[in-house]
Copies of this chain bind each other. A is one copy, B any other.
Amino acid sequence: MGYTPNVLGRNLRIKSTRKILVLIPTLSNQFYSSVIRGMENVARKEGYQVLISATYSQKETEKELIAMLYNRSVDGIILLSSQLSSKELTEIARVKPLVLCCEYTDGALLPAVTIDNYQAGFQAVEYLIQLGHQKIALISNNTVFSGRQRSQGYRDALKTYHCRYMPSYCVETEYTFQAGVSATKKLMKLPDPPTAIFAISDVLAAGVIKELYAQGKCPGKDVDVFGFDNISLAKMITPSLSTVSQPRRQMGEQAMKLLLQKIEDIHTENPLVILPHQLIFRQSTHDRKI
């Protein structure tokens, strides 16, 4: 009869909001869309609503949003990336339901779900080597843990297969398309330019391919390109991108399950869940076996 209960009064009484907040670094990276779908799947089943807010990788913004845990605006928070130190994260997670998803912060004591970024980076470079490449460049971002792990995988693959590690082949930059373009410009200007490029994200790799075209080179033929993330963009560009696929939906589902456990009992364990990744081979790497 037109009566709508006031959730504020209810929540005040019940000390629960049935709302989960997901903090995303930016809405412009479609990588997270499937992850969040996974989260919504399991949240919905348990009667929780998922709200999203962007931090733009600003520590202050992140802190303001995490405050919603303390002022009881939401029951739990999942971070898809964080600017907080492992100490700060541990501190919060000790008393409030907080989970890390996709991006791990080394040493932080809270539930987290991720892939083996080191192994994935290793395998991507290993594959390029097996295609016959010796001169493999890396475009990376070392401000995040996963980026450092992927880079380490690159270096160890080179070492394992006795390829020479060339510092000039390693460009450290931010996670944007334009950064991929610029890095490629720099790499191709070298006296002995690389014949393959491993970019630690598809958006970077898209920049690589764009710039190779601009230089009249044919990506996937003259220069092989390997990306990371397997976002939809990877299939949209020509040549389509060989890349590392993360089980995005499962990562989201798993993270939400861990969070709901924490909501039920804050003293539950803090597992680090490693989900399997997968290499995807497309046109940007020319497989000479075919």
Chain A contact residues, CB within 8 Å of chain B: 4-9, 11-12, 17, 19, 21, 26-30, 32-34, 36-37, 40, 49-54, 64-65, 67-68, 70-73, 177, 206-207, 209-210, 213, 232-233, 235-238
Q: Are A177 and B236 in contact (CB under 8 A)?
A: yes
Complex Cα distance, B49 from A19, in Å, reads 15
- The residue that A33 contacts in the complex, of B6, B27, B70, with Cβ under 8 A, is B27
Q: How many copies does the complex hold?
A: 2
- The residue that A12 contacts in the complex, of B12, B40, B236, with Cβ under 8 A, is B12
Q: Are B235 and A237 in contact (CB under 8 A)?
A: no
Q: Are A236 and B237 in contact (CB under 8 A)?
A: yes
A235: chain B residues at CB < 8 Å are 177
Q: Are B238 and A7 in contact (CB under 8 A)?
A: no
Given the interface contacts A28-B232, A52-B51, A53-B50, does A4 sit within 8 Å of B238 by beta carbon?
no
A8: chain B residues at CB < 8 Å are 8, 11-12, 17, 71-73
Complex Cα distance, B232 from A210, in Å, reads 13
Given the interface contacts A53-B49, A238-B210, does A177 sit within 8 Å of B232 by beta carbon?
yes
Q: How far is the CB of A12 from chain B (nearest CB, A)?
A: 4
A6: chain B residues at CB < 8 Å are 12, 71-72
Q: Are B72 and A52 in contact (CB under 8 A)?
A: no
Look across to chain B and name the residue whose beta carbon is closest to the beta carbon of A71: B7
